[in-house]
A and B are shown apart, each in its own frame.
Chain A
């Protein structure tokens, strides 16, 4: 089973690469609000969702999409971790 830190790490790598985050940007970390601080816009959000679906095999429900948790990488990782655990329990 994929761990939450691994999920967070993969999402962080994707965000850094896809949205060209400066490696020296000290304001960027896994706890910040990606949208409020302008790292990801609404177009990028769709790309991020597609990445999560492809990488982790889960669709993020609308309730989670619009939750406060889904604003940061750590929050996304918590949600994806829960969704993958649920999916694995179903298939077991």
Chain B
């Protein structure tokens, strides 16, 4: 059968053209590729006769997987697990490449896809910006994008994740401006004695200073581990760093869901996050816990490492995928400023205080001074040597990297875990471009 079938729901599109959000009607077979598209998008839209346009955003934030059915049809879904439920084997499942724009037309030879990934993003000859100019461009994009999201979804309940770090604080400040009814939400792991983490303490103070109500989500270790299977399936990843971050998001999503009154299925619930800034500014480091190193990074120069981290966004769904399991739509504002971030040069990326400097230029006094001067703490890491974070909780319970890998394989009916190394490699999913002629590009 020469057809394309979409199984299950696709991730919410929140992509932007620099002026407004894309709508379904903007995605048409035969139209020019949307090279200006930024933000999350994945679409399969039917055109005249037996024709379809398939599209994924240039960072690969929203996911699309496919497999060929016995009847010749192309089955497409947002999660491999959905394709497994339809009878496909994990080994057959492929991703649509990020940034791919493809028209699939029955009876015609496979078309060469267009790529909307800008050629200069990862090139040594790409455009460069000094910090002032980059900050102005980032600030302008964030403001205009959030205004566009607010205009497109004026009645949506809005939440903003607040870790107490710089990235989420900046987004929270802008959220307060564009979504006056927004609620901040903060994660914490229940500790003996009920003591709040430093993240929670700062989140309380910041929510008060930004005049945002705060939803406090505090979970026990058992509650946290109860999300593991959901996280592995919806996050489409088994690697420990991403699973740990996804567990935090699952707890937040569950907390938000529980706090919502009756929901209108036609109105999305928006959750804004400060995600992506760490990849864009290479603001990651490895962690030590009980003498073992976790979250190891490739030994690469800053610009090369940034390219590797940003390309790697293709192969994890720790934000959008996990929140979607609770019917929540994630807005990742930093995604629309990616061009300006990638134009920051290696000299700037090598500075210890790069994030503080850039954020001061972007957010200025919108973010209180104590946030700028606060040492970085990750919710998933906590204070690793002392424990308290998700990393320590998982390791202590035996949910280490090997366990996560094995469990992911088990959930996806994969007998040989080496298969997983052919599914994600160098931060990218196994990809191919489908056609209805049976050939694969």
Contacts and interface: CB of A to CB of B under 8 A. Distances in A.
Interface stretch (B3-11, B85-93, B298-306): B298-306
A42 B239 contact: yes
A63 B422 CA distance: 12
Given A43-B296, A43-B297, A44-B298, A65 B425 contact: yes
B418 A36 contact: yes
B431 A46 contact: no
Contacts of B300: 46-47, 50
B426 interface: yes
A53 B301 CA distance: 13
Report the interface size class on chain A. Answer: 10 to 19
A66 B298 contact: no
Contacts of A56: none
B299 A47 contact: yes
B432 interface: yes
B70 interface: no
Interface in B300-314: 300, 304, 308
B342 to A, nearest CB: 15
Given A36-B421, A42-B426, A46-B426, A63 B299 contact: no
B428 interface: yes
A62 B97 contact: yes
A49 interface: yes
B427 interface: yes
A35 B426 CA distance: 11
Interface string A22-51: 000000000000011000001111110110
Nearest to B299: A47
Interface string A8-19: 000000000010
Given A42-B239, A46-B300, A47-B298, A65 B418 contact: no
A65 B428 contact: yes
Contacts of B46: none
Contacts of B304: 50, 53-54
B428 A46 contact: no
Contacts of A42: 239, 421, 424-427
Contacts of A66: 422, 425, 428, 430-431
A90 to B, nearest CB: 14
Given A62-B97, A62-B431, A66-B431, A35 B296 contact: no
Interface string B406-441: 000000000000100110111110111000000000
Given A43-B298, A62-B97, 14 more contacts: A35-B421, A42-B421, A42-B427, A43-B297, A45-B425, A46-B300, A50-B298, A54-B304, A62-B428, A63-B432, A65-B426, A65-B428, A66-B422, A66-B425
15 contacts: A45-B425, A46-B300, A46-B308, A47-B298, A47-B299, A47-B300, A50-B298, A59-B122, A62-B97, A62-B428, A62-B431, A65-B428, A66-B422, A66-B428, A66-B430
Top-10 shortest CB links A-B: A46-B298, A46-B308, A45-B426, A66-B430, A47-B298, A50-B304, A43-B298, A50-B300, A43-B296, A62-B431
Interface of A: 18, 35-36, 42-47, 49-50, 53-54, 59, 62-63, 65-66
